[in-house]
């Protein structure tokens, strides 16, 4: 894995109220294990996450432990349907000789290896400092302690999660709605199960497009499990609350937006290469509770003109 403390040419240091600006790399805050905090207000972010930025991963907050218990198993399941669908879509549709792939919402990095297989270098971006720290450790070939949630605040120890090291991968903490990545630098941009977890999904699509170069591949997956407390009804892509999308479900809305067929992001012009319906995806909350979703996946190529 590349030295994260060296300035990466594709990364920018977000500047408050300037989505295109970049501050000096020397001002970047870091976790002790080497993950840069590329937020427009890193001090506020670090104050919000508290000791989760510095504690060992098996001693973070209850929320952090729950996050790891829920998402670390995804790194142990390369044969899961969603992992296979992402891997196959990248293998079929990624442009040959791709220099850079960027995944927004990479979590613990379950798909970073698949992205690295089709790109010379990869950047993983996630808003969770716990997730980004786990992804960095896995990509470095380090063991990540695993605690399995039994119930309530009770956890049981399991074998650490260890993977073969991945070179050419950089993991950062960042906001997908204010990407810490320069415009037009990526050959592949992907966001797996991120659209329905942000406050402004249309803005997210616009930001992903801005990072992607002409002719590049955008890969999206989502179960469209909208939650009003996360995404206000007037921002959700399906459900009839957005006038421009009133007659469309979420999947149809994403396709229409990517094609530039709506007043939302009318400048977009993508060729839809493939869509896959109902890809199973599961997350276990604790020993007696699991969440089962059906994700929808689309691979689309950004037009060159």
Neighbours of 199 (CB within 10 A): 11
Does the model's pTM come out above 0.75?
Answer: yes
pLDDT attached to residue 18: 78
User: Is 206 in a helix, a strand, or coil?
Assistant: helix
DSSP state of 184: T
For the ranges 104-113, 165-174, 242-251, which has the lowest average pLDDT?
242-251
pLDDT tens-place string over residues 137-176: 999 999 999 999 999 999 999 999 999 999 999 999 999 9
Q: What token pair was written down for 209?
A: 């497009």
Asked if residue 108 lies in contact with residue 74, where contact means CB atoms within 8 angstroms, the answer is: yes
Helical residues (DSSP H) of the chain, grouped into ranges: 42-49, 62-71, 81-93, 112-116, 129-139, 201-211, 250-258
pLDDT attached to residue 1: 46
Neighbours of 300 (CB within 10 A): 25
pLDDT attached to residue 206: 97
For the cut 60, the answer to whether the pLDDT of residue 4 exceeds it is no
CB proximity list for 290: less than 8 A, separation 6 or greater: 282, 283, 284
């Amino acid at each position: 894995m590349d030295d994260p403390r060296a300035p990466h040419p594709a990364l920018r240091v977000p500047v408050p109220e300037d989505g295109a600006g970049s501050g000096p790399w020397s001002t970047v805050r870091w976790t002790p294990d080497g993950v840069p905090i590329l937020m427009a207000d890193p001090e506020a972010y670090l104050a919000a996450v508290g000791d989760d930025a510095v504690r060992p991963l098996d001693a973070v907050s209850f929320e952090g432990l729950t996050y790891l218990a829920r998402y670390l198993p995804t790194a142990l399941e390369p044969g899961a349907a969603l992992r296979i669908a992402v891997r196959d879509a990248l293998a079929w549709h990624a442009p040959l000789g791709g220099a850079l792939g960027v995944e927004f919402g990479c979590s613990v990095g379950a798909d970073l290896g698949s992205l690295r297989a089709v790109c010379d270098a990869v950047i993983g971006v996630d808003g969770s400092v716990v997730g980004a720290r786990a992804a960095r450790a896995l990509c470095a070939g380090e063991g990540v302690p695993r605690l399995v949630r039994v119930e309530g605040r009770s956890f049981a120890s399991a074998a650490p999660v260890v993977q073969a090291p991945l070179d050419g991968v950089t993991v950062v903490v960042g906001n997908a709605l204010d990407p810490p990545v320069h415009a037009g630098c990526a050959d592949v941009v992907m966001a797996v199960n991120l659209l329905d977890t942000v406050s402004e999904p249309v803005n997210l699509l616009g930001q992903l497009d801005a990072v992607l170069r002409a002719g590049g591949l955008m890969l999206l997956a989502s179960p469209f499990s909208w939650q009003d407390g996360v995404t206000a009804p007037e921002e959700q892509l399906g459900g009839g609350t957005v006038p421009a999308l009133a007659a469309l479900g979420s999947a149809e809305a994403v396709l229409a937006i990517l094609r530039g067929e709506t007043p939302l992001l009318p400048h977009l012009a993508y060729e839809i290469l493939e869509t896959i319906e109902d890809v199973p995806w599961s997350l276990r909350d604790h020993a007696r509770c699991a969440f089962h979703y059906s994700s929808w996946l689309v691979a689309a190529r950004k037009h060159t003109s």
